[in-house]
Structure 1
Amino acid sequence: MLVTVGSIKSGSATTTALALGATWPGDATVVVVEADPSGGDVASLFGLEREPSLVSLSAAARARHEVGVLTEHAQALPGGLRVVAAPPGAEQASGAVGLLGRDAGPLWKAAAAAEDLVVIVDVGRLDPGSLAHALVAAADAALLVARPTLNEAHALAARLDGLIGAAEAAGTRLHLVLHGEGYPAEQVSASLAFPVTAHLPHDAKAAAILSGAGRGELRRTALAGAAHRLGTALLAEHTAAQADAATPEMTQVLGMEEVA
């Protein structure tokens, strides 16, 4: 399964991606890929080695498209979550993201089809010209993270129709996820005429743990509980979509015709 996490204005995509990856339900291997073209923070926050990284993954993925290449270029965070970290500079990061969007289509297709692997890609801010849009188009589900404030609601309203159209054209399920304090989810949904999938709470303790600055058990925080529920919903949706897709194929194999 392949999930992307991005935003329009807020900087909550990385926190959301890490929380989702750390609390993902089930026994599948989870890899978070920090594919923000503006550069990443995870390596410096957690003191990771320079390599392997997003740069080494982008080079390897030009020739290798099996999903194992993702885990090979990941490093483990405290707690065990595997992360492919982006370089801090925009020049290197955007180059790597560009390569992964242009040359690694078969890899993302294999990741989306994998039954024992979940890949969560942090694509940062989805500006109109972002190189990460190619990764969003390859995903099963794309999370659009926003703070429930008037400023972000206006920014979302200006971009939402285009993002919905792009997602529908690519066959990607688009989800709006609110993060932090502000207007209720029902009010944001009504204003944008688009459903809110989840509302993650502001959680200073969890944010500190996910930035490498805090100690404690992430699973005991409010953010972890909300992220786990979001992951459960996404997994259930994905399982249902796979079952729906398999039905016509099974009907054809059995030599049956669907009744209109």
Structure 2
Amino acid sequence: MTRVAAVCSLSGAPGATTLALALAAAWPEPETATVIEADASGGDIAAWRHLPASPGLVELAAASRLDGSQRRARPENFTQVLPGGLRACTAPSSADRAANAVALLAENTEVLNSGNGIVVVDLGRMAPRSPAVRLAAAAHATLLVANDDVAHLKRVRDALPALRAGISNLELAVTTGPHDDAVLQEAIGAPVRARIPADRPSASLLRGDSVPPRRWSRRPLLAAARRLAAELDLQMNSRAVSAP
């Protein structure tokens, strides 16, 4: 059974792509998780990891138009293997090509569930009328990542009603900062599912900028991602069992 988790943000680079990679790397499953970079503004993973342009999101989106017995658009068939074994379906860096691919994929969201195991979709910046809303709505769990600063929290509060109109499973993950959870909940008007620690060394490792040190899985970001992934895994399994 495929389970799909989506990660998105509004603006301000709070680290949606980094969290998506961390969740996939830390997911409590025996099989390898697959990351789909479906950011309409353009992808980063291929540039970070010096990967070729394909296979990736463009090819997955094109193949998703096939249906019936011809369907071959399993996400894992359009991935590249990152060091460490993580599979990533990367988006082109140019916004026009990425946006076209995301729009096409949003018309065929069933492809997200056509593979095996865990799929983590990095949706990048989200807007209420973006085609990516349909991808988020098709996920079993969606995390909106926000920075813990006054301006960003206000932006999240203002955007939440419109986003939740299209994404019923939307939850919040906020970077660590000066405010505690109670203050954040009051500022945003919604509970916070997780706090994401500031951990530049781990973010650098996930981007491929440095070699993992010993015991790097104990770093704050990876430890937080492991806890969050375990919670999401349990939540999605429970929903799958209770679904008719």
Name the TM-score, length of structure 1 as normaliser. Answer: 0.86
Task: Assess if the C-alpha contact under 8 Å between 1:145 and 1:177 holds in 2.
Answer: yes
Q: Deviations over 1:173-212 (max 9, x none)?
A: 2110012433222210122231111101000110110111
Choose from 184, 203, 207 the match for 2:203.
207
- 1:137 aligns to what? 137
The yes-or-no answer on 1:14 pairing with 2:12 is no
Task: Assess if the C-alpha contact under 8 Å between 1:5 and 1:120 holds in 2.
Answer: yes
Task: Assess if the C-alpha contact under 8 Å between 2:144 and 2:171 holds in 1.
Answer: yes
Q: Deviations over 1:69-114 (max 9, x none)?
A: 2111000111111000000000110011111011x23313445xxx
- The amino acid across from 1:239 in the alignment is N
- The amino acid across from 2:193 in the alignment is T
- 2:227 aligns to what? 229
Q: Identity of counterpart residues, as a percentage?
A: 35
Deviation at 1:64, TM superposition (A): 5.2
Counterpart Cα distance in 2 of 1:214 and 1:183: 31
Counterpart Cα distance in 2 of 1:59 and 1:100: 8
Counterpart Cα distance in 1 of 2:72 and 2:134: 18
SS of equivalent residue, structure 1 residue 78 = coil
Q: Deviations over 1:10-68 (max 9, x none)?
A: 32110110011111112243110000001011101101122101111111111158686
- 1:243 aligns to what? 241
- 1:55 aligns to what? 58
In the alignment, structure 2 segments of 5+ residues that lack a partner are none
Q: How does 1:13-162 map to 2 (within 5 A)?
A: 13-63=16-66, 69-102=74-107, 104-110=108-114, 116-162=116-162
Task: Assess if the C-alpha contact under 8 Å between 1:2 and 1:140 holds in 2.
Answer: yes
Task: Assess if the C-alpha contact under 8 Å between 1:147 and 1:182 holds in 2.
Answer: no
Counterpart Cα distance in 2 of 1:145 and 1:10: 10
Counterpart Cα distance in 2 of 1:177 and 1:82: 24
Give the RMSD, CA atoms, in angstroms.
Answer: 1.7
In the alignment, structure 1 segments of 5+ residues that lack a partner are 247-260
Counterpart Cα distance in 2 of 1:54 and 1:143: 21
Deviation at 1:162, TM superposition (A): 1.7
- 1:252 aligns to what? none
- The amino acid across from 1:15 in the alignment is T
- 1:255 aligns to what? none
Name the larger-Rg structure. 1
Counterpart Cα distance in 1 of 2:72 and 2:222: 27
The 3 A distance-change label for structure 1 pair 225 and 153 is: same
Paired residues in the alignment total 237
Counterpart Cα distance in 2 of 1:207 and 1:165: 32
The 3 A distance-change label for structure 1 pair 50 and 209 is: same
- 1:256 aligns to what? none
Counterpart Cα distance in 2 of 1:34 and 1:108: 12
Task: Assess if the C-alpha contact under 8 Å between 1:67 and 1:107 holds in 2.
Answer: no
Counterpart Cα distance in 1 of 2:97 and 2:178: 36
Task: Assess if the C-alpha contact under 8 Å between 2:91 and 2:98 holds in 1.
Answer: yes
Q: Deviations over 1:158-183 (max 9, x none)?
A: 11112222223xxxx21100124332
SS of equivalent residue, structure 2 residue 74 = helix
Counterpart Cα distance in 2 of 1:193 and 1:157: 7
- 1:251 aligns to what? none
